[in-house]
Amino acid sequence: MSIEIGLCLALSTLLFGIGAGGFLLRRNMLIQLMAIEVMLNATNVALVSINRLHPGDHAGQVFAFFVIAIAAAEAAVGLAIVLGFFRVLRTVETDQADQLKH
- Our CA dihedral for 78, 84, 88, 89, rounded to 10 degrees, sits at 20
Site for another protein in 44-73 (CB under 8 A): 46-47, 50, 53-54, 59-60, 62-63, 66-67, 70, 73
Site for another protein in 71-90 (CB under 8 A): 73-74, 77-78, 80-82, 84-85, 88-89
Contact with another protein (CB under 8 A) among 34, 39, 55, 68: 39
Q: How far is the CB of 78 from another protein (least distance, A)?
A: 6
Task: Check if the beta carbon of residue 49 is closer than 8 Å to that of residue 8.
Answer: yes
| Amino acid, res. 87 | R
